Every structure is written in structure tokens, then in C-alpha cells.
Chain A
């Protein structure tokens, strides 16, 4: 089981959505929603702590795999993430992605926190920092207008090199994991 206390928040993104907390929670876990705003990937989530969490390619291959750590609809969803779909990425340590959902002035506040258990280089964090705004802007548009802008997500400059370097040097091995 993942030791959550070893993980530190590295990237936080907050957005406010004109929808109910229940609708926001559904949009995070139902494939008919995620396909529209999350790069075409279909969420496949077992609705319980300890269940499997996966994001699937249209052909059913696994892009992201993990385990549900906290299943508290419609307030909180926390999962471990391992990006298996990109070559080599499956050998990086897993991270934890947590969504917190709360009512806010008639709307809903969604907070995404990406936490890591090792000193992740900025160039690797930049991947999530460029991806999350596109994904969660799409989620907001989808719930408010019925249509998500599907924004192309290109890895930022230096991202792939930083991942390759981390895979060679495995800095997490000496960071007390």
C-alpha cells in the first residue's frame, strides 16, 4: 500500500465551475465525459478505496494505471498514477493525484493536487503543469457549455530529456523511498 505521508504536493490547479459537486465528480470518473476533455482517454475506475484506477486509449490499452486511495463522492477522489502508455514512463515512481470538490458561492471549487515522493526535476513537473490547465479548462467548458475544447497537449521543451535522464540515474533510489 502506498505510504501517502511520503508524498509532497508539487502542482496545484484550482478552477471554479458552474455545476454541482455531484456533476463535477461524475465528469472526473465517467468515460463518456473524460473522453471529451482528457486527451480522448476513457476513465475506468472501481468505485471504492483500494479499487483500480485507469485511463484507457480508445483501443482499450492502458495509458495511466493506479489505485484509488480515497473514494468519497462527491467531495474527494485520490488515486496513485503511473503513466504506462508512454515508453519508459512506467519505470518512474508513481505520483498521487487528488481532486477535492467543494461548494463555493453557488458554484463548485475543484482543486487538483499532484504529489510526488521524490525530488522531481522542474522539467518533469512542467509536463503536468502544461497538461492540467488544458484538461481542467476542458472539463469546465464541458460542464458549462456541453462542449470541451480539445487542446493539443505537447510535452514542454526539455521534458522528454529530463524523463530519460531520471530513468538512467534513478534519483529516487537515494531519496529514502
Chain B
């Protein structure tokens, strides 16, 4: 059985700078990440924490790579579900590129790729969990940047 990993690509009609801002500005993150907030200075070695609205820590880790506005690598562990925490640290890579266009259609799009896998072996439960979450979060992010509104506001309702 191959090691589980999650890869998701979405194309967003936006600029790399705006997508980068949306991935790192806590006020924007709260809008599309269902009220979650992020505390981080976005420098290599910075502690990183994703918190619920009530302040509890959901996930935590550190920043491994920052190449604004192209690439962000986060060392990431779930902190609130023991069975996920037990699978250890994961590595989440976010990559931002310009997408090519058919001439004539005009406009520009950004290709955002999320790659997520456990650092060691295994990670079935963690990868299953993020596989459910990322499409909701990234659909919301795309809608927010393209229309000014998210797709939906409550993750639990979806």
C-alpha cells in the first residue's frame, strides 16, 4: 500500500500576491476557514498555530520554507484529536504559480497546489481528515477571491 498523500489543485482568477495574502493574513483566513485563525510571523522557523474561534489550538507546528508569493511549507500536527495527533507531524506545501491561458479568453489565473503528507510512515487518518477539509477551505478561498463572498460559512453544514 502506497503512503497516503493529499494533492489538490485549484485555479483562481486572481494574482499570486492576492492568493499569498489570503493564505497568510489572519483576517482573510478567518473568512474562508470557517472562523479559524492563524498565528504566525511567516518566517522560516516561526511557530505556526491554527486556532478555533474560542482560542483552543486545532493544529500547530512551524514554518519550514517561505518564498513569497510562490511557496510556503508548514510542519503541521493535529493537536485536538488524539488519534490524529498520534500520527505525528505532517508537511504541507502550498505552491502558487501563474496558469497558462488559451489566447483570446483574456484574464489571468493562479494555480494553487496543496500537497499534504505525514513526515514519517502512515498517516491514513490524518490524510483522510485533511482530504475532507481542504476542498471545502479551498473552494471557499476561490469564491472569496473571485466574488468577494465565500461558498458557505459553516463547515459542519457541508
- Chain A residues at the B interface, C-beta cutoff of 8 Å: 14-18, 40, 104-107, 109, 129-130, 133-134, 137-138, 140-141, 144-145, 147, 149-152, 154
Contact = CB atoms under 8 A, between A and B. Distances in A.
Given A145-B146, A152-B102, A137 B11 contact: yes
B109 A149 contact: yes
Interface of B: 7-13, 99-102, 105, 107-109, 111, 135-136, 139-140, 142-143, 146-147, 149, 151-158
Given A145-B13, A145-B147, A152-B100, A137 B142 contact: yes
Given A40-B102, A145-B146, A149-B99, 13 more contacts: A16-B140, A16-B151, A16-B158, A18-B147, A105-B153, A105-B157, A137-B10, A137-B11, A137-B109, A147-B107, A150-B102, A151-B11, A151-B109
Nearest to B104: A150
Contacts of B143: 18, 140, 144
Contacts of A145: 13, 146-147
Contacts of B105: 149-150
A149 B11 CA distance: 8
Chain B CB count within 10 A is highest, among A109, A137, A145, A152, for A137
Given A106-B157, A137-B11, A149 B107 contact: yes
Contacts of B146: 141, 144-145
A40 B103 CA distance: 12
Which label, helix, strand, loop or mixed, suits the secondary structure of the A interface? Answer: mixed
Contact of B152 (A107, A138, A144): A107
Contacts of A130: 9
Nearest to B146: A145
A17 B10 CA distance: 13
Nearest to B11: A137
10 contacts: A16-B158, A105-B156, A107-B158, A133-B9, A144-B143, A145-B147, A150-B105, A151-B109, A152-B101, A152-B102
Contact of A18 (B8, B100, B151, B157): B151
B147 A14 contact: no
A16 B10 contact: no
A16 B12 CA distance: 14
Given A16-B139, A133-B10, A149-B13, A144 B158 contact: no
B116 to A, nearest CB: 15
A153 to B, nearest CB: 9
Contact of B158 (A105, A137, A141, A150): A105
B29 to A, nearest CB: 17
Contact of A137 (B12, B149, B154): B12
Contacts of A105: 152-158
A65 B4 CA distance: 33
A133 to B, nearest CB: 4
